[in-house]
Each structure stands twice: as C-alpha cells, then as structure tokens.
C-alpha cells in the first residue's frame, strides 16, 4: 500500500471514506460476538445455540465485508454487484438474527436483545443502503423495525419498554446506514469534480489545438491558393514559351518564402511562453486547486528568450505542484541580482522527489535554460517543502528598468 504522505488529497479522502464504511460494517459483528460471550448468555445453558449464532455472526461479517467493497464501487459507478454474494450475505444475516431470536426465547436477554439484534442486522442494512434508492432503504428499515417490535412483544417486553427500545434501535440502524451513504455521496462528488477538472484540461488542450489549426489555416490557406494559381499560370506560359513564366515562378518563390516565414512566426508564438502571463496563470490555476499562491516579481524587463525560458519553468513547476505531493501553499519569486535573474518556486506538502531522469519535465527545462546559459536546481528542502530554482545570467546591457 502506498504510504499515506505520498497519496494525493483525493486518494486520502477515498481511503479514509472506504475505511470508515468498512469500520461501520464490522462494528456490528464484533459487538455481537462480545455480547454472545457475556455472562447472561453463557449461563443460559444454550451453548450449541450460542456457538451457532457466533459462527453465523462471523460468517455474516466476512460476507458483508466482501460485499461492501462491491457496494462502494457500484455506488461510485465503477463496478457491478455479484448477486450470489448479496444473497449469501442476506442469508447469513438472517441466520444470525434467528439465532439471537432463539436465544431470546430461552435466555433472559431483555436488556441485551435490542442491541444484539441491531448488531446482527446493521452490517447488511448498511451495505444494502448503498445499493438501493433512499426510499427503498427507508422501507426496508421500517420492515426490520416492525419485525423487531414483534419479537420484543413475543418475548414479553412491556409497551413502555418497547417505546424506549424501538426508537433507539431505529436510530442506531438508520444512523449507520445514513453515515455510510453520506460518506460515499461526498466521495462520489469529489470524484466527479476530479473528472470534471480532467475534462476541463482536455477541453483546454483541444481548444488550443483548434486555435493553432485556425492560425495555420489563416496563414497558409490564401498563400497556397495563390501559389497553386500562379504555378498553373506559369505552366501554361512555359508551354507557350512565353518569358512571363519566369516572372510567375519568381513570384511563387517569393510567396513560398513569405509563407515559410509566417509559419515560423506562428510556431514561435505557439511555443514561446510569456513570463508575466505564466505567473498570472500559475496564480489562477493554483488558487482554483485550493493552493494559496504568492507571486513576487520585480519590474525588470527581461529579454524575450529569457522570458520564454523562465515562462516554461513556471509552467512546468506549476504542473509539478499540482501533480506531486499535497501542497497547501506555494510561493513564486522572480528577482535579479549580480546580473543574474533568479526564479524560485517553493511549495509545502512535498511528496516523493520528482524524477530527473532523461525525458522528464526537469530535463526538458534544463535543456531550455541551457539555450540561454541558465541552470536549474530542484529538490526537497527542510520542512517537507520542495524548491525549484532557475538562474539565468544577463549582460548589463540586456537589463532595462521599466518606466
């Protein structure tokens, strides 16, 4: 199992919620097993019935424990319920409740009977509440409550006693089912939000691809049409041995070179990253993810190639903060000192160190920074933080103080 500190926030919530539901399911069998070993039950002289009920209790706990895993997946829309396992768990629960009822007829369990019955049926009712609509779960709870009321009446319980016991029984079984269902509802909402964020990211990528495609179409569409027409005209003129064919091909060459330059401009604009735009984008993205982001940037205007390289550093660092660890705070600072611009990105909640193997994002950043004689340092620091530092040396002439 992955270490707790290395899990994402959603993975932690998922594990905690599933563990809570499993605990609710197992509280009943464990409580009933302890009650079956109490002195009133042991001194009742019904050892075979006691042992049989205890065995049914254990079997029901194991089956409901297996069943709840499938039930949670079904509730989240990630699996299917095995009908055979559901029937086995229902049968084991019914056998356990019958064993408690038989003991109640032969042993004085007036004070323990409601708690024992609740412990017997709570596991299955909790799992069942995850598989059916709320109204069906309420009907089933009422049916079980009526059955318990009949059993209490048959064992000689008075009306005042039943008026005290039945509400407590209904509250305990209903509250356990409600807690399990509410916990899974919160988890389902969080998974839906995660999926929505992934869809939003994919839509953003698709939109950027469409924009890039439109730009290329606008740049190349007209020029390619002109090239085709002029080439056809040049062919016709050449067949007629007209000297104007050379002029037309010269024009085709000029348009092709111009198109090549325009395509480079489009690609360069697509690949280059503006530092200030990336800083604002990082602040917005991290804030949307619930991470407090503080950005500190001076007024120094940097050369275009340096801005582009540092902009990619900010973009990649922001992605790492979102993907790795469980950050709550992040600081981004840009400063110049001794003819060197320094970009520092630091976040808390650092998980496992980010790999710097060939092909990773950090290697790509080092390659971009090396083009401007820069360097990159990244690694964990004290206090469970992760720090990324990029340094790019600048000539004094390249620094111009903004007005």
pLDDT in tens, 87-143: 999 999 889 888 888 887 777 666 677 788 888 888 999 998 998 888 898 998 899
pLDDT at position 284, please? 77
pLDDT at position 389, please? 93
- Cβ neighbours of residue 346 under 8 Å, at least 6 residues apart? 330, 331, 381, 385, 386, 387, 388
pLDDT at position 164, please? 82
With CA atoms as reference, report the closest residue to 323 among 300, 349, 284: 349
354 or 31, which is more confident: 31
DSSP lists the bridge partners of residue 329 as 292
As a CATH number, domain 275-401 is: 3.30.565.10
DSSP lists the bridge partners of residue 108 as none
374 or 285, which is more confident: 374
User: Residues 170, 143: contact at Cβ < 8 Å?
Assistant: no
User: Residues 250, 203: contact at Cβ < 8 Å?
Assistant: no
Q: Which helix (H) or strand (E) holds 57?
A: helix 47-75
DSSP lists the bridge partners of residue 385 as 381
- Each domain of the chain, given as residue ranges in start order, spans 4-195, 197-271, 275-401
Angle at 54 between CA 49 and CA 57, to 5 degrees: 125
What stretches of 213-299 adopt beta strand conformation (E)? 292-297
Band (pLDDT 50/70/90 cuts) for residue 327 is confident
197-271 carries CATH number 2.40.50.140: no
Q: Is 395 exposed, middle or buried (0-12, 13-18, 19+ CB in 10 A)?
A: exposed
pLDDT at position 358, please? 41
Band (pLDDT 50/70/90 cuts) for residue 339 is confident
DSSP lists the bridge partners of residue 392 as 341
45 or 152, which is more confident: 152
Rounded mean pLDDT of 217-232? Answer: 76
For a pLDDT cut of 90, what percent of the chain falls above it? 12
In angstroms, rounded to a whole number, what is the distance separating the alpha carbons of residues 93 and 26? 13
User: Residues 64, 89: contact at Cβ < 8 Å?
Assistant: yes
pLDDT in tens, 271-296: 556 788 788 878 877 876 678 889 98
Q: Is 189 exposed, middle or buried (0-12, 13-18, 19+ CB in 10 A)?
A: exposed
């Amino acid at each position: 199992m992955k270490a707790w500190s290395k899990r994402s926030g959603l993975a932690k919530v998922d594990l905690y919620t599933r563990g809570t539901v499993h605990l609710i399911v197992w509280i009943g069998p464990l409580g009933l097993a302890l009650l079956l070993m109490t002195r009133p039950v042991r001194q009742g002289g019904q050892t075979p019935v006691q042992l049989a009920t205890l065995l049914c209790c254990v079997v029901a706990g194991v089956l409901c424990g297996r069943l709840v895993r499938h039930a949670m997946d079904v509730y989240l829309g990630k699996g299917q319920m095995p009908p055979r396992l559901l029937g086995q768990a229902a049968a084991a629960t019914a056998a356990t409740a019958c064993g408690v009822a038989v003991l109640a007829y032969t042993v004085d369990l007036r004070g323990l009977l409601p708690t024992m019955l609740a412990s017997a049926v709570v596991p299955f009712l909790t799992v069942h509440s995850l598989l059916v609509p709320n109204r069906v779960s309420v009907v089933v709870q009422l049916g079980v409550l009526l059955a318990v009321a009949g059993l209490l009446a048959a064992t000689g319980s008075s009306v005042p006693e039943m008026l005290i016991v039945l509400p407590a029984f209904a509250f305990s079984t209903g509250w356990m089912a409600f807690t399990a269902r509410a916990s899974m509802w919160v988890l389902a909402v969080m998974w839906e939000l995660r999926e929505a964020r992934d869809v939003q990211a994919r839509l953003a990528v698709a939109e950027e691809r469409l924009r890039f495609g439109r730009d290329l179409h606008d740049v190349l569409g007209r020029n390619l049409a002109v090239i085709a027409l002029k080439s056809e005209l040049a062919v016709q003129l050449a067949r007629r041995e007209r000297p104007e064919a050379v002029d037309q091909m010269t024009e085709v060459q000029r348009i092709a070179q111009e198109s090549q330059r325009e395509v480079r401009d489009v690609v360069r604009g697509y690949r280059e990253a503006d530092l200030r735009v990336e800083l604002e984008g990082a602040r917005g993205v991290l804030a949307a993810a619930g991470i407090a982001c503080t950005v500190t940037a001076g007024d120094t205007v940097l050369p275009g190639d340096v801005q582009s390289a540092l902009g990619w550093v900010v973009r990649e660092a922001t992605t790492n903060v979102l993907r790795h660890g469980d950050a709550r705070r992040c600081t981004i600072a840009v400063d110049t000192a001794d003819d060197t611009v320094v970009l520092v990105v630091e976040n808390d909640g650092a998980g496992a160190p980010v790999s710097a193997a060939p092909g990773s994002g950090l290697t790509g950043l080092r390659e971009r920074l090396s083009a401007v004689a820069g360097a990159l340092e990244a690694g964990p620091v004290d206090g469970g933080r992760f720090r990324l530092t990029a340094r790019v040396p600048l000539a004094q002439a390249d620094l111009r103080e903004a007005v």
